Amino acid sequence: MRLASTTLGPADAPRLLIAHGLFGSGRNWGVLQKRLSDAFRVTAVDMRNHSGSDWSEDHAYTDLADDLAETLDGPAHVLGHSMGGKAAMALALRHPDKVQKLIVADIAPVAYTHSQMHLIDAMRALDLSGLDSRKDADARLAETVDTPGVRAFLLQSLDMAEGRWRLNLDALAARMDAITGWADLPGAFPREALFLSGADSDYVTRDMRPAIREVFPKARFAAIPGAGHWLHAEKPREVEAAVRTFLQ
């Protein structure tokens, strides 16, 4: 599985791999990637079935973890957000030799009851014919998606020139239960892990900490004030500071 990626930073600097969340892409982390590249060699990937990477009918976290393992030619720090956070956790459990320190952004190794099918339905329903601008696309998407920030996020994956989504919506829809779920993987990660949450998000709660520590016994916890689930977009400087403090 070929994953598209970009890499910034000195060749001899410590490695940092970033895995984005559902419907996202490596470019969502471009600001933090650039800022952190002064001290790290930072690679931001597009996950399978997203943006510039290969598509597949399979989208289990074991598959995503193995994709990430194949991109690494040696150990690296790994940061993953949401779906990418679960993939990063699976990587740490399946290929612990590949992961030095782990940062999991606003997700836990548990099954969630929410679904993102309503957003897939909205993207599928969007009439892509005759669009002159992303503003036009936003106006049409507003008929089914109320929140401007969510529309802006989704429209980053719309290829205006080709008139298509750079997302494998069929595979993501078929595997939604696996994406929101969690496959219990054997073992425990022996090194340090930071679970970094948005203080205004309910994705990682205190009652999840026993489940987290069961597989990540050296887990630390921190929250970014004033941030929700998309903490890296809402509070990039605070997230950058937390990442630097933990890794350095």
pLDDT in tens, 66-117: 999 999 999 999 999 999 999 999 999 999 999 999 999 999 999 999 999 9
pLDDT, position 184: 87
pLDDT, position 165: 97
Instruction: Show which residues are catalytic.
Output: 82, 170, 229
Residue stretches of the chain with pLDDT short of 50: none
> What is residue 48's DSSP assignment?
T
Helix (H/G/I), strand (E/B), else coil: 78: strand
Nearest to 180 by CA among 85, 78, 48: 85
Return the bridge partners of 198, or none: 224
Helix (H/G/I), strand (E/B), else coil: 165: strand
pLDDT, position 1: 86
Domain spans in the chain, listed from the N-terminal domain onward? 5-112+181-247, 117-172
What kind of architecture, by CATH, is found in domain 5-112+181-247? Answer: 3-Layer(aba) Sandwich (3.40)
Reported pTM: 0.96
CA 56 to chain centre: 18
How far apart CA 123 and CA 242 sit, in angstroms, is 34
pLDDT, position 90: 98
pLDDT, position 132: 87
Q: Give the 3-state secondary structure percentages of the chain, helix then strand then coil, rounded to 5.
A: 40, 20, 40
